Amino acid sequence: MSTLNLEYLGHAGWLIEGDNFRCICDPWFGPSGAFFSQWLPFPTNRDLWDASLLSNLDFIYISHAHEDHLDPWVLEQVDRSTVFVIPEFKDPILRTTLSKMGFTDVRELTRDKTEIFKGVKVKIVEDDGYMDQDSCMLLDTGDHKILNLNDCHLDFGVIEECIGDVDILMLQATSAIWWPCAYDYDDQDLRDKCIQKRHNAVRRAIKYAKTVNAKLTIPNAGPPFFRDRSLHHWNETRRDEANPFILADDAALIMRDEGVEAQALTPGDTIILGETIQTKIDQEKYNLVYTKLTEYVAKYAQQVQDEHPVPSHTTEEHKTMVQKFKKHVSNVCKTSQLYVPQLTFNVLFDFNGVEKVVVNFSEGTITTFSNQTINYEFTLCPDAMCELFKSRYIDFERFFLGTNFKCRRDPDVYNEILFTLLKNFDIKRLLTSEKIYAERKDLLNETYELEYNEQKYEVQRYCPHMLADLKRSGYVNESGHLVCSLHGWEFELKSGKCLTNGSCPLGVKQLKK
């Protein structure tokens, strides 16, 4: 039987070696971190960096285009003839970034297009939505299967269909986004929402592990370490049940309680997959991180806090950035056919001390704030926004993921279209996103039959949030509500009312008994 060695490189990074096979996944070591230097790997992996990691590789797998997976600092050091395997997304950003860096052998795979490297079958299952793109990779040696799910939130039905059972599952079991932390909720409300977010992240990981019957599950790919001082409390309170950025060891504990064999690792730890599964853990390092967490976090913060600050810009540069923003919004309003007409409310972009700009996308108006009614409000750091407007792609997600902004909404209802627009603000990407959206929208007419408490319902099959297949991944909870297990949204079964987000009801019809 063949043996595979999996070395954890920190965050979502892995070095996977077989008898004569070697690949690396999502290596992230750049000292400036990601998302305007707000994210760093937790625990740190700096001591592990060695350029020789990048030699003699059969391929490098990059799961998606986020900077904590597609790290230009690492890629600059990679031989340009190295093979890359990436998912084939409709949005070409990942492919073009690698091509522009001079890589000549970039292979795009899908669930239907696999490759074999020295007897190891490589399958990438793409999650190509109008809002997000991500992927997972299945390695199949014939003796063993490894699923690197990283932070890809694939539909459970797709996982069942395309993956089957695996030996090792590596996946994210923590929150990694700005909701609810960046919102101006009162303390109790924020606490309740954070508990819910933490709970949902682990529940989803457990469901993935059970879906693929993993013999061993490794929580990884987050949580990140936040560099900005204003966010340090999210680093410091990770044992608190109201911190959505649950640590890998706490997640593993909950998973084990639920019957999922799980193990947290620190960078440099290895798993040897042969006749049995062995984990080699540097216990001293593990204790330093997880047992002496308070000291570890304080030391890490001190080491990195003054590194790579967001560059300051002059008042003139701030004003120029706001002008560029207005011009860009105007182009977006002229170009968008599907998203903009749905955004019929005022959004305030407060460039903290520079200007407050009110945008009504559907009306195409861009005005200075003067007490208009505002439904969504973003307070943004002008220096970081200047940096954003220097980038090739002006998309707000890079900025949002950094989490150091403020958001307010009235009513407190998530608007998926607004976030989809802001995450795909670049005009070309916006058009691609709208094309996918148009194709997917037809799915919303599909229904399935659900029986609960001797009553039959005809239910919209795809979740109004991000189109998870509710027939496969929905369940009725103890309150009689239909829950989508992908992100935990709850729907009242009788009316279809969304209890998580009032504006996104589910189509439900009671059928005659």
Smaller CB distance to ligand FES: residue 286 or 414? 414
| Number of Cα atoms under 13 Å in the Cβ half of residue 135 | 28
Q: Is 447 helix (H, G, I), strand (E, B) or coil?
A: strand
Please choose, out of 83-91, 178-186, 309-317, 460-468, the segment that lies near ligand FES by the rule CB under 6 A: 460-468
Q: Which of 465, 491, 498, 506 binds ligand FES (CB under 6 A)?
A: 465
Q: Which of 51, 132, 49, 137 is nearest to 93 (CA)?
A: 132
Buried b (16+ CB within 10 A) or exposed e, 275-309: eebeeebeeebbebbbeebeebbeebbeebeeeee
Identify residues 259-288 at the interface with ligand FES (CB under 6 A).
Answer: none
Please choose, out of 127-135, 215-223, 371-379, 463-471, the segment that lies near ligand FES by the rule CB under 6 A: 463-471
Smaller CB distance to ligand FES: residue 274 or 480? 480
Identify residues 379-438 at the interface with ligand FES (CB under 6 A).
Answer: none
Rounded distance, CA 179 to CA 26, Å?
25
Q: Is 259 helix (H, G, I), strand (E, B) or coil?
A: coil
Q: How far is CA 171 from CA 11, 60, 361, 445, in A?
A: 10, 18, 37, 32
Nearest-approach distance from CB 499 to ligand FES, in angstroms: 12
Residues 6+ apart with CB under 8 A from 258: 206
Q: Is 367 helix (H, G, I), strand (E, B) or coil?
A: strand
Q: Does 463 bind ligand FES (CB under 6 A)?
A: yes
* Number of residues engaging ligand FES in binding (CB under 6 A): 8
Q: Is 473 helix (H, G, I), strand (E, B) or coil?
A: helix
Q: Which of 78, 466, 493, 506 binds ligand FES (CB under 6 A)?
A: 466
Smaller CB distance to ligand FES: residue 92 or 488? 488
Smaller CB distance to ligand FES: residue 66 or 204? 204
Identify residues 207-266 at the interface with ligand FES (CB under 6 A).
Answer: none
* DSSP labels, 167-193: SEEEE--S--S-TTTTB---HHHHHHH
Which residue in this structure is represented by tokens 């990438």?
A: 124
Cα torsion through 93, 95, 96, 101, rounded to 10: 120
Rounded distance, CA 460 to CA 468, Å?
11
Nearest-approach distance from CB 459 to ligand FES, in angstroms: 13
Smaller CB distance to ligand FES: residue 312 or 495? 495
Facing residues of 175 across strands?
none
Nearest-approach distance from CB 485 to ligand FES, in angstroms: 8
Smaller CB distance to ligand FES: residue 220 or 485? 485
Rounded distance, CA 364 to CA 337, Å?
12
Nearest-approach distance from CB 161 to ligand FES, in angstroms: 17
Nearest-approach distance from CB 98 to ligand FES, in angstroms: 29
Nearest-approach distance from CB 433 to ligand FES, in angstroms: 17
Smaller CB distance to ligand FES: residue 147 or 466? 466
Nearest-approach distance from CB 489 to ligand FES, in angstroms: 4
Rounded distance, CA 178 to CA 237, Å?
16
Smaller CB distance to ligand FES: residue 332 or 417? 417
Identify residues 468-497 at the interface with ligand FES (CB under 6 A).
Answer: 468, 484, 486-487, 489
The CA-based diameter of the chain, rounded to the nearest angstrom, is: 71
Which residue in this structure is represented by tokens 């998973």?
A: 255
Please choose, out of 63-71, 202-210, 253-261, 465-473, the segment that lies near ligand FES by the rule CB under 6 A: 465-473
Smaller CB distance to ligand FES: residue 393 or 489? 489
Nearest-approach distance from CB 497 to ligand FES, in angstroms: 15
User: How many residues in the chain?
Assistant: 513
Smaller CB distance to ligand FES: residue 293 or 468? 468
- Enumerate binding residues for ligand FES (CB under 6 A): 463, 465-466, 468, 484, 486-487, 489
